[in-house]
Amino acid sequence: MRPKNLAKEEAIRSLALQIIADEGLENLTMQKLAMAANISPRTIYIKYENKEDLLIKLFIGEVLDAYEKAMIGNFRVHMDFAEGVRLLWSNAFSYLKNNRPAFILIQYGKSSPLLNNAYRQRNIRHDTHFTLVHEFLKINASRGVIKYFPMDIYRSLLFSPLLDLVNEYFDHQSRRRQIVTKNMLMECCDAVIKGLHLSSNQTIDVNYPKA
């Protein structure tokens, strides 16, 4: 792809994320995006079949890939469980607080029927991302460090609280005092870690279903 076309495509994706963040997913239209980018709607349809196609490519290629890369910076699957989770939270928070449009689309990705339907239609599996994190959790469950849960449950227990805290962070930017500080984040992270830890005299047999 020529540099000029690449720059145009990056501008389109950036503007789409900004419209979603400012006006909501339901208010993003191809016509509005074309107007914001000062191009013809036909130009957008050359690259994207429709709004659904645009959102999937934004979510998978633009947001999740970058989010995953940021989250697993300096992370290793054989780290101590508490150390590893603290690093994942710290990395994720640093990325999300500086990328609000990406965070907004991640939030929509959790609940939007449009995105969820598109996943099913295109056979996009939720476990194709964050494989290192999945392996880390499996290792710690098999060693008896943490309670065994299915991966979707781990995702909810470990990272839904983090996303809620990021939401509070943005909410408190317009208030007198920011309550979601790095220290507060780590205190909350430690509470989540404590909830998943098995006591030293507990053991558990783990039989993960094959993918």
Residues 61 and 29 reside in one and the same domain: no
Residues 77 and 164 in one domain: yes
Decide if 83 is inside a domain.
Answer: yes
Let me know if residue 202 belongs to a domain: no
Is residue 185 classed exposed, middle or buried when 0-12, 13-18 and 19+ CB atoms within 10 A define those classes? buried
Same domain, 23 and 108: no
d(CA 118, CA 138): 28
Q: Are residues 78 and 155 in the same domain?
A: yes
In a shared domain, residues 86 and 43? no
Residue 2 located in a structural domain: yes
Q: Are residues 9 and 113 in the same domain?
A: no
94 and 185: one domain?
A: yes
Same domain, 66 and 80: yes
> Could you tell me if 44 and 55 lie in one domain?
no
Residue 121 lies in a domain: yes
Looking at residue 27, which CATH number applies to its domain?
A: 1.10.10.60
User: How many domains is the chain partitioned into structurally?
Assistant: 2
Confidence (pTM): 0.85
Last residue of a domain, one of 48, 65, 87: 48
Residue partners of 87: CB distance under 8 A and separation at least 6 = 74, 75, 79
Burial of residue 137 (CB within 10 Å: 0-12, 13-18, 19+) is buried
Is residue 25 domain-shared with residue 118, that is, in the same domain?
no
Per-residue pLDDT band for 61 (boundaries 50, 70, 90) equals confident
66 belongs to a structural domain: yes
Token pair 């476990």: residue:
127
Instruction: Say if 204 falls within a structural domain.
Output: no
Asked whether residue 206 is assigned to any structural domain, the reply reads no
Kindly give, in sequence order, each residue whose CB lies less than 8 Å from that of residue 166, ignoring residues fewer than 6 positions away: 93, 96, 97, 103, 180
Find the mean pLDDT for residues 168-183: 95
Burial bucket for residue 69 (CB in 10 Å: 0-12, 13-18, 19+): exposed
Residue 75 CA: distances (Å) to CA of 7, 28, 83, 90, 160: 32, 36, 9, 11, 20
Confidence of residue 118 (pLDDT cuts 50, 70, 90): low
Residue 159 is part of which domain span?
A: 51-196
Tell me whether residue 42 is in a domain.
Answer: yes
Question: Could you tell me which residues are beta bridge partners of residue 146?
Answer: 197
Binned at pLDDT 50, 70 and 90, residue 9 comes out as confident
Instruction: Assign residue 116 the CATH number of its domain.
Output: 1.10.357.10
**Same-domain check for residues 55 and 27:** no
What is the reported pLDDT for 78? 97
Tokens describing residue 29: 């239209």
Does the pLDDT at position 1 exceed 60?
no
Q: Are 88 and 39 contained in the same domain?
A: no
